[in-house]
Amino acid sequence: MTGLALLVLPVQMALAQVRVGLVLERSGKDDKSFNASAYQGLKRAEKELGVTTKTVEAPDNAAYESLQRAFAEKKFDLIVAVGFHQLESIKKNAARFPNQKFLLVDEDAKAPNVRSVMFEEHEGSYLVGALAAMHAPGGKVGFIGGMDVPLIRRFETGYAAGAKKMNSKAQVLSNYLGVTGEAWNNPPKAKELALDQFNRGAEVIFVAAGNSGVGVFDAAAERKKLAIGVDSNQNWLKPGFILTSMLKRVDEAVFDSVKLFKEGKFTTGLIRYGVKTKGVDYSLDEHNARLVTDRDKKQLEQLRADIVKGKIKVPDYYLIQKK
């Protein structure tokens, strides 16, 4: 009997597919940004790696814990939680299910069975800040943030430092959209702020405000100026007026982790995605090929190399804030 069981078991294991459960934030898989990127990463894993996936969108903040827990009780092999809102619930579930493997994107869970992925947004913002300054001979660049939260401040400080690196006299005009969740979903207000910044002399505006970003792109097209997108590649939204997009490769992070899991090489602990691994990056495609010159690219690659080598220390708002 035992011998038979031993024979059957490996066969069953080989047949059993890897099952990955994905818990998205309230904004869901159609947010054209962060959650959408995670969803695409998982779909790619489904296609290329042959894993089985199930995606759920949390209806409220208290549901994160129940949904992760439900996946664990259904014995999914890997549970992916996207967004810093899920930190507390991942911590609780990681302790409750010590043999379950989790992936948390955008925060550090500090638990033995969780792989935490964080992005060095300030580094990517530094590069696009430098690029913005190269395209602003007048020295004025703009920044428009969604909600005034530490994460978005991190984008802003990196961006300002990059602009100042290229032009020591560079001036950064900065505005935030609001204090409620509406800030991520208010293109008309973003457009007004962008028009105002252009009136004040800004030549390039970097927007980190979720769905509101399209308002800034509209303003740029109207005034024949430039904007910079965020999170996913948004260059196609207004070709010719979007200088580049500051990429946050959530899709890569999710895909890589699932791949490692499938190959049995999954590790836990904190993994940082910076400019070194191109986990944060600026986007180049056919839509901005005429905007970003070879000289620009050369300078940006030099900056990237200097950041990787440690020759340039990009200010990190999270660390500044703690002081």
Residues contributing to the site for another protein (CB under 8 A): 26, 54, 56-63, 65-67, 69-71, 84, 87-88, 92, 96, 147-151, 179-181, 318, 321-322
For 11-17, the CB contacts below 8 A with 24+ separation are 17/50, 17/51, 17/52
Note the Cα 104 to chain centre separation in Å.
13
DSSP run (H or E) holding 174: strand 171-178
For another protein, the closer CB: 290 or 322: 322
∠ CA 231-229-191, nearest 5°, is 125
- Smallest distance, Å, CB 247 to another protein? 21
For another protein, the closer CB: 93 or 244: 93
For another protein, the closer CB: 182 or 285: 182
For 193-200, the CB contacts below 8 A with 24+ separation are 193/144, 194/142, 194/144, 194/219, 194/220, 194/227, 195/219, 195/222, 195/223, 197/142, 197/144, 197/173, 198/142, 198/223, 198/225, 200/140, 200/173
For another protein, the closer CB: 84 or 236: 84
For another protein, the closer CB: 86 or 234: 86
- Smallest distance, Å, CB 301 to another protein? 29
CA pair distance 253, 258, nearest whole angstrom: 9
Neighbours of 99 (CB within 10 A): 6
For another protein, the closer CB: 13 or 62: 62
- Smallest distance, Å, CB 258 to another protein? 19
- Smallest distance, Å, CB 304 to another protein? 24
- Smallest distance, Å, CB 294 to another protein? 37
Write the CB contacts of 5 (distance below 8 Å, at least 6 apart in sequence).
none
- Smallest distance, Å, CB 235 to another protein? 29
